[in-house]
Amino acid sequence: MKAAVLHAPGQAMTIEDVEVDKPQRREVLIRTSAAGLCHSDLHFMDGKYPHPVPVVLGHESAGVVEAVGEDVTYVKPGDRVITCLSLFCGHCEFCLTGHMSLCQSPEVKLPPGKAKRLRWRGENLHQFLNLSSFAEQIVTHENAVVKVDRDIGMDLAALIGCGVVTGYGAVVHTAKVEPGSIVAVLGCGGIGLATVNAAQIAGAGRIIAIDVDPFKLELARQFGATDTLIGDANTAKQVMEMTKGGVHYSFECVGLKQTTEQSFSMLRQGGTATVVGMIPVGVKIELMGSDFLRERRIQGCMMGSNRFRLDMPRLVDFYLQGRLHLDQMVSGRLKLNQINEGFDAMKRGGVARNVIVFDQ
Protein backbone atom coordinates (compact mmCIF):
# COMPACT_ATOMS: atom_id res chain seq x y z
CA MET A 1 0.00 0.00 0.00
CA LYS A 2 0.98 3.66 -0.33
CA ALA A 3 1.67 5.70 2.80
CA ALA A 4 3.18 9.08 3.71
CA VAL A 5 6.32 8.49 5.79
CA LEU A 6 7.95 11.07 8.07
CA HIS A 7 11.67 10.29 8.26
CA ALA A 8 12.71 13.04 10.67
CA PRO A 9 11.20 16.16 12.27
CA GLY A 10 11.34 19.17 10.00
CA GLN A 11 11.48 17.11 6.82
CA ALA A 12 8.80 16.70 4.18
CA MET A 13 6.99 13.37 4.14
CA THR A 14 7.63 10.98 1.27
CA ILE A 15 5.15 8.62 -0.36
CA GLU A 16 6.41 5.05 0.04
CA ASP A 17 5.30 1.47 -0.55
CA VAL A 18 4.59 0.11 2.92
CA GLU A 19 3.55 -3.35 4.07
CA VAL A 20 0.77 -3.78 6.62
CA ASP A 21 0.14 -6.87 8.75
CA LYS A 22 -3.00 -8.94 8.62
CA PRO A 23 -5.27 -8.22 11.59
CA GLN A 24 -4.47 -10.28 14.66
CA ARG A 25 -6.73 -11.11 17.61
CA ARG A 26 -9.31 -8.32 18.14
CA GLU A 27 -7.77 -6.25 15.35
CA VAL A 28 -9.39 -4.91 12.19
CA LEU A 29 -8.03 -4.00 8.76
CA ILE A 30 -9.54 -0.82 7.34
CA ARG A 31 -9.37 0.51 3.79
CA THR A 32 -8.87 4.22 4.43
CA SER A 33 -11.39 6.45 2.66
CA ALA A 34 -10.34 9.83 4.04
CA ALA A 35 -7.98 11.39 6.58
CA GLY A 36 -8.02 14.92 7.94
CA LEU A 37 -4.87 17.00 8.32
CA CYS A 38 -4.86 17.93 12.00
CA HIS A 39 -2.63 20.50 13.66
CA SER A 40 -1.65 17.82 16.16
CA ASP A 41 0.16 15.97 13.37
CA LEU A 42 2.07 19.17 12.68
CA HIS A 43 3.34 19.26 16.26
CA PHE A 44 5.02 15.89 15.70
CA MET A 45 6.25 16.88 12.23
CA ASP A 46 7.92 19.98 13.68
CA GLY A 47 9.42 18.07 16.62
CA LYS A 48 7.45 19.90 19.32
CA TYR A 49 6.35 16.48 20.56
CA PRO A 50 8.87 13.62 20.20
CA HIS A 51 7.99 10.37 18.43
CA PRO A 52 10.18 7.54 17.08
CA VAL A 53 10.85 7.75 13.33
CA PRO A 54 10.36 6.78 10.60
CA VAL A 55 6.63 6.95 11.23
CA VAL A 56 3.35 7.13 9.33
CA LEU A 57 1.37 9.97 10.92
CA GLY A 58 -2.37 10.64 10.76
CA HIS A 59 -5.12 9.93 13.26
CA GLU A 60 -8.35 11.56 11.99
CA SER A 61 -9.85 9.09 9.55
CA ALA A 62 -12.75 7.05 8.25
CA GLY A 63 -12.88 3.98 6.05
CA VAL A 64 -14.36 0.57 5.33
CA VAL A 65 -13.52 -2.64 7.22
CA GLU A 66 -11.81 -5.10 4.87
CA ALA A 67 -10.96 -7.93 7.28
CA VAL A 68 -11.13 -8.79 10.98
CA GLY A 69 -9.00 -10.95 13.25
CA GLU A 70 -10.23 -13.60 15.62
CA ASP A 71 -12.59 -12.66 18.45
CA VAL A 72 -13.68 -9.41 16.79
CA THR A 73 -17.37 -8.96 17.56
CA TYR A 74 -18.09 -5.26 17.04
CA VAL A 75 -17.59 -4.93 13.26
CA LYS A 76 -17.53 -7.11 10.14
CA PRO A 77 -16.08 -6.65 6.62
CA GLY A 78 -18.00 -4.01 4.72
CA ASP A 79 -18.83 -1.87 7.76
CA ARG A 80 -18.14 1.85 7.42
CA VAL A 81 -16.25 3.18 10.43
CA ILE A 82 -14.70 6.28 11.98
CA THR A 83 -11.40 5.78 13.80
CA CYS A 84 -10.43 7.36 17.12
CA LEU A 85 -7.12 7.49 18.96
CA SER A 86 -8.99 7.19 22.28
CA LEU A 87 -8.76 3.41 22.43
CA PHE A 88 -10.37 1.95 25.52
CA CYS A 89 -10.05 -1.37 27.28
CA GLY A 90 -13.43 -1.20 29.01
CA HIS A 91 -12.35 -2.53 32.39
CA CYS A 92 -9.66 -0.26 33.88
CA GLU A 93 -10.38 2.37 36.54
CA PHE A 94 -10.78 5.15 33.97
CA CYS A 95 -13.12 3.18 31.72
CA LEU A 96 -15.26 1.96 34.59
CA THR A 97 -15.66 5.50 35.95
CA GLY A 98 -16.69 6.92 32.57
CA HIS A 99 -13.35 8.50 31.62
CA MET A 100 -12.60 6.29 28.63
CA SER A 101 -10.49 8.93 26.87
CA LEU A 102 -7.94 8.62 29.69
CA CYS A 103 -7.52 4.85 29.30
CA GLN A 104 -3.84 3.96 28.87
CA SER A 105 -4.10 0.19 29.06
CA PRO A 106 -1.26 -1.39 27.03
CA GLU A 107 -3.72 -4.17 26.28
CA VAL A 108 -5.26 -1.92 23.60
CA LYS A 109 -3.18 1.28 23.48
CA LEU A 110 0.40 0.48 22.56
CA PRO A 111 2.84 3.28 23.48
CA PRO A 112 4.99 4.99 20.80
CA GLY A 113 7.55 2.61 19.34
CA LYS A 114 5.77 -0.56 20.47
CA ALA A 115 3.26 -1.14 17.66
CA LYS A 116 4.70 -3.53 15.05
CA ARG A 117 1.96 -3.48 12.42
CA LEU A 118 3.82 -1.70 9.59
CA ARG A 119 7.01 -2.47 7.67
CA TRP A 120 9.10 -0.53 5.20
CA ARG A 121 12.14 -1.87 3.36
CA GLY A 122 12.13 -4.95 5.58
CA GLU A 123 12.22 -2.98 8.84
CA ASN A 124 9.48 -2.14 11.34
CA LEU A 125 7.85 1.21 10.66
CA HIS A 126 6.42 3.09 13.61
CA GLN A 127 2.66 3.40 13.91
CA PHE A 128 1.23 6.70 15.13
CA LEU A 129 -1.32 6.64 17.94
CA ASN A 130 -2.20 3.06 16.98
CA LEU A 131 -3.67 4.32 13.70
CA SER A 132 -1.31 5.89 11.09
CA SER A 133 -4.12 7.26 8.92
CA PHE A 134 -1.92 8.71 6.17
CA ALA A 135 -1.95 5.32 4.49
CA GLU A 136 -4.26 3.39 2.23
CA GLN A 137 -4.89 0.81 4.96
CA ILE A 138 -4.99 0.82 8.77
CA VAL A 139 -4.66 -2.10 11.18
CA THR A 140 -5.84 -1.29 14.67
CA HIS A 141 -7.74 -2.67 17.67
CA GLU A 142 -11.51 -2.95 17.26
CA ASN A 143 -11.91 -0.56 20.21
CA ALA A 144 -10.46 2.22 18.05
CA VAL A 145 -13.45 2.34 15.69
CA VAL A 146 -17.12 3.21 15.72
CA LYS A 147 -19.62 2.11 13.08
CA VAL A 148 -21.26 4.69 10.82
CA ASP A 149 -24.76 3.51 9.97
CA ARG A 150 -26.12 6.77 8.60
CA ASP A 151 -25.67 8.36 5.16
CA ILE A 152 -22.70 10.72 5.49
CA GLY A 153 -19.72 11.25 3.21
CA MET A 154 -16.58 9.60 4.50
CA ASP A 155 -14.57 12.78 4.00
CA LEU A 156 -16.88 14.49 6.48
CA ALA A 157 -17.06 11.49 8.81
CA ALA A 158 -13.26 11.54 9.10
CA LEU A 159 -13.39 15.01 10.69
CA ILE A 160 -15.55 13.66 13.50
CA GLY A 161 -12.73 11.26 14.43
CA CYS A 162 -10.60 13.92 16.11
CA GLY A 163 -11.26 17.63 15.61
CA VAL A 164 -15.03 17.56 15.89
CA VAL A 165 -15.35 15.09 18.75
CA THR A 166 -12.63 16.99 20.63
CA GLY A 167 -14.34 20.37 20.29
CA TYR A 168 -17.76 18.93 21.04
CA GLY A 169 -16.53 16.94 24.02
CA ALA A 170 -14.61 19.89 25.46
CA VAL A 171 -17.86 21.83 25.62
CA VAL A 172 -20.28 19.07 26.60
CA HIS A 173 -18.15 16.72 28.72
CA THR A 174 -15.06 18.55 30.00
CA ALA A 175 -16.50 22.01 30.71
CA LYS A 176 -20.23 21.13 30.80
CA VAL A 177 -21.31 24.46 29.33
CA GLU A 178 -24.71 25.60 30.58
CA PRO A 179 -27.39 27.17 28.34
CA GLY A 180 -27.21 30.96 28.28
CA SER A 181 -23.53 31.08 29.22
CA ILE A 182 -20.97 33.43 27.71
CA VAL A 183 -18.23 31.46 25.95
CA ALA A 184 -14.93 32.48 24.40
CA VAL A 185 -12.99 30.29 21.97
CA LEU A 186 -9.32 31.18 21.35
CA GLY A 187 -8.19 29.74 18.02
CA CYS A 188 -10.59 28.92 15.20
CA GLY A 189 -8.92 26.13 13.28
CA GLY A 190 -10.70 22.81 12.93
CA ILE A 191 -10.97 22.12 16.66
CA GLY A 192 -11.83 25.72 17.50
CA LEU A 193 -14.60 25.83 14.91
CA ALA A 194 -15.98 22.57 16.29
CA THR A 195 -15.88 24.13 19.76
CA VAL A 196 -17.80 27.17 18.55
CA ASN A 197 -20.35 24.90 16.88
CA ALA A 198 -20.67 22.76 20.02
CA ALA A 199 -21.21 25.84 22.18
CA GLN A 200 -24.07 26.82 19.90
CA ILE A 201 -25.56 23.31 20.12
CA ALA A 202 -25.21 23.46 23.92
CA GLY A 203 -27.22 26.68 24.00
CA ALA A 204 -24.55 29.24 24.88
CA GLY A 205 -26.04 32.72 24.93
CA ARG A 206 -22.96 34.46 23.52
CA ILE A 207 -19.97 32.96 21.73
CA ILE A 208 -16.86 35.09 21.19
CA ALA A 209 -14.47 33.69 18.57
CA ILE A 210 -10.85 34.88 18.73
CA ASP A 211 -8.14 34.37 16.11
CA VAL A 212 -5.44 36.27 14.23
CA ASP A 213 -6.80 35.07 10.85
CA PRO A 214 -9.81 37.05 9.52
CA PHE A 215 -10.74 34.10 7.28
CA LYS A 216 -11.20 31.84 10.29
CA LEU A 217 -13.23 34.47 12.12
CA GLU A 218 -15.61 34.73 9.18
CA LEU A 219 -15.97 30.95 9.26
CA ALA A 220 -16.59 31.08 13.01
CA ARG A 221 -19.64 33.27 12.37
CA GLN A 222 -21.03 30.51 10.15
CA PHE A 223 -20.40 28.00 12.94
CA GLY A 224 -22.33 29.99 15.54
CA ALA A 225 -20.08 32.78 16.86
CA THR A 226 -22.00 35.87 17.91
CA ASP A 227 -18.87 38.04 18.22
CA THR A 228 -15.41 37.91 16.64
CA LEU A 229 -12.16 39.43 17.78
CA ILE A 230 -8.70 39.65 16.23
CA GLY A 231 -6.34 38.24 18.84
CA ASP A 232 -3.46 40.33 20.18
CA ALA A 233 -1.71 41.11 23.45
CA ASN A 234 -4.82 42.93 24.75
CA THR A 235 -7.32 40.18 24.00
CA ALA A 236 -8.22 39.37 27.61
CA LYS A 237 -8.80 43.03 28.45
CA GLN A 238 -11.01 43.47 25.38
CA VAL A 239 -13.10 40.44 26.30
CA MET A 240 -13.52 41.69 29.87
CA GLU A 241 -14.80 45.01 28.52
CA MET A 242 -17.08 43.40 25.91
CA THR A 243 -18.71 41.16 28.49
CA LYS A 244 -18.70 43.58 31.42
CA GLY A 245 -16.83 41.21 33.69
CA GLY A 246 -15.61 38.21 31.73
CA VAL A 247 -16.84 34.92 30.30
CA HIS A 248 -18.26 31.89 32.06
CA TYR A 249 -16.24 29.47 29.92
CA SER A 250 -13.16 29.89 27.77
CA PHE A 251 -11.55 27.33 25.48
CA GLU A 252 -7.91 27.56 24.42
CA CYS A 253 -7.69 25.73 21.06
CA VAL A 254 -4.23 26.82 19.88
CA GLY A 255 -1.69 25.36 22.28
CA LEU A 256 0.31 28.51 23.07
CA LYS A 257 1.51 30.00 26.36
CA GLN A 258 0.05 33.44 25.64
CA THR A 259 -3.41 32.27 24.64
CA THR A 260 -3.58 29.84 27.55
CA GLU A 261 -2.82 32.61 30.02
CA GLN A 262 -5.32 34.88 28.26
CA SER A 263 -8.03 32.22 28.47
CA PHE A 264 -7.70 32.29 32.26
CA SER A 265 -7.44 36.08 32.51
CA MET A 266 -10.74 36.66 30.65
CA LEU A 267 -12.82 34.59 33.08
CA ARG A 268 -15.44 36.15 35.30
CA GLN A 269 -15.67 35.05 38.94
CA GLY A 270 -16.35 31.31 39.09
CA GLY A 271 -15.43 30.87 35.42
CA THR A 272 -13.65 27.88 33.91
CA ALA A 273 -10.88 27.84 31.30
CA THR A 274 -10.39 24.59 29.38
CA VAL A 275 -7.09 24.02 27.58
CA VAL A 276 -7.81 21.98 24.44
CA GLY A 277 -4.70 22.85 22.41
CA MET A 278 -1.45 20.89 22.65
CA ILE A 279 1.02 23.12 24.50
CA PRO A 280 4.59 22.18 23.43
CA VAL A 281 6.65 20.04 25.77
CA GLY A 282 8.61 22.14 28.28
CA VAL A 283 6.42 25.25 28.10
CA LYS A 284 5.27 26.56 31.50
CA ILE A 285 2.10 28.55 32.08
CA GLU A 286 2.11 31.55 34.47
CA LEU A 287 -1.06 32.63 36.28
CA MET A 288 -1.82 35.16 39.01
CA GLY A 289 -2.27 33.27 42.26
CA SER A 290 -4.74 35.80 43.64
CA ASP A 291 -7.14 35.04 40.76
CA PHE A 292 -7.91 31.67 42.32
CA LEU A 293 -9.52 33.47 45.26
CA ARG A 294 -12.32 34.36 42.85
CA GLU A 295 -12.91 30.64 42.16
CA ARG A 296 -11.56 30.80 38.65
CA ARG A 297 -10.58 27.38 37.34
CA ILE A 298 -8.29 26.10 34.63
CA GLN A 299 -8.33 22.49 33.41
CA GLY A 300 -6.91 20.25 30.75
CA CYS A 301 -8.79 18.33 28.12
CA MET A 302 -7.87 15.07 26.38
CA MET A 303 -9.81 14.49 23.16
CA GLY A 304 -12.86 16.22 24.61
CA SER A 305 -13.21 13.69 27.46
CA ASN A 306 -15.06 11.69 24.82
CA ARG A 307 -17.10 8.51 24.93
CA PHE A 308 -16.67 8.24 21.21
CA ARG A 309 -18.97 5.29 20.54
CA LEU A 310 -21.78 7.37 21.98
CA ASP A 311 -20.61 10.81 20.86
CA MET A 312 -19.81 10.13 17.22
CA PRO A 313 -23.20 8.70 16.21
CA ARG A 314 -24.81 11.70 17.89
CA LEU A 315 -22.54 14.03 15.94
CA VAL A 316 -23.54 12.33 12.70
CA ASP A 317 -27.18 12.91 13.65
CA PHE A 318 -26.44 16.57 14.43
CA TYR A 319 -24.92 16.91 10.95
CA LEU A 320 -27.91 15.30 9.25
CA GLN A 321 -30.19 17.63 11.25
CA GLY A 322 -28.23 20.63 9.95
CA ARG A 323 -26.87 21.53 13.39
CA LEU A 324 -23.25 20.43 12.88
CA HIS A 325 -21.53 22.32 10.07
CA LEU A 326 -19.10 19.79 8.61
CA ASP A 327 -19.38 20.92 4.99
CA GLN A 328 -18.09 24.39 5.81
CA MET A 329 -15.12 22.93 7.67
CA VAL A 330 -13.55 21.30 4.59
CA SER A 331 -11.24 23.78 2.88
CA GLY A 332 -9.86 21.32 0.32
CA ARG A 333 -9.83 17.68 -0.73
CA LEU A 334 -6.34 16.45 -1.62
CA LYS A 335 -4.64 13.34 -2.92
CA LEU A 336 -2.11 11.55 -0.72
CA ASN A 337 0.78 12.87 -2.79
CA GLN A 338 -0.37 16.43 -2.00
CA ILE A 339 -0.08 15.96 1.76
CA ASN A 340 2.94 18.23 2.21
CA GLU A 341 1.15 20.98 0.30
CA GLY A 342 -1.78 20.56 2.67
CA PHE A 343 0.37 21.07 5.75
CA ASP A 344 2.11 24.03 4.13
CA ALA A 345 -1.31 25.62 3.62
CA MET A 346 -2.09 24.99 7.30
CA LYS A 347 1.03 26.90 8.30
CA ARG A 348 0.14 29.84 6.03
CA GLY A 349 -3.42 30.10 7.34
CA GLY A 350 -6.66 30.66 5.46
CA VAL A 351 -7.85 27.05 5.84
CA ALA A 352 -9.99 25.21 8.35
CA ARG A 353 -9.37 21.55 7.46
CA ASN A 354 -7.84 19.90 4.42
CA VAL A 355 -8.77 16.26 3.90
CA ILE A 356 -6.89 13.51 2.09
CA VAL A 357 -9.37 11.53 -0.02
CA PHE A 358 -7.94 8.17 -1.07
CA ASP A 359 -10.31 7.21 -3.89
CA GLN A 360 -9.93 10.36 -6.00
Backbone torsion region of residue 293, taken as left when φ is above 0, otherwise alpha when ψ lies between -120 and 50, otherwise beta: alpha
Q: Which of 51, 61, 105, 162 does the annotation list as catalytic? A: 162
The yes-or-no answer on residue 290 being catalytic is no
Is 263 labeled as catalytic in the residue annotation?
no
Name residue 357's beta-bridge partners: 34
**Rounded Cα gap, residues 187 and 114, in angstroms:** 33
38 is catalytic: yes
Radius of gyration of the chain (CA): 20
> 3-state DSSP call for residue 316?
helix
Q: Which of 33, 39, 43, 86 is catalytic?
A: 43
Spell out the residues 6+ positions from residue 155 whose beta carbon is closer than 8 angstroms to its own.
33, 34, 62, 330, 333, 355, 357
Catalytic residue check, 103: no
The CA distance from 63 to 66, in Å, is: 9
Q: Choose the catalytic residue: 39, 59, 126, 141.
A: 59
Instruction: Give 88-106 as a DSSP string.
Output: --SSSHHHHTT-GGG---T
Q: Is 99 a catalytic residue?
A: no
Identified catalytic residue from 33, 39, 40, 250: 40
Enumerate long-range contacts of 106-114, CB under 8 Å, 24 or more apart. 108/141, 108/143, 108/144, 112/51, 112/52, 113/52
Choosing from 38, 84, 103, 253, which is the catalytic residue? 38
> Pairing state of beta strands 27-36 and 137-141?
antiparallel
Contacting residues for 24 by C-beta, under 8 A, at least 6 apart: 69, 70
Catalytic residue positions, numbered: 38, 40, 43, 59, 162
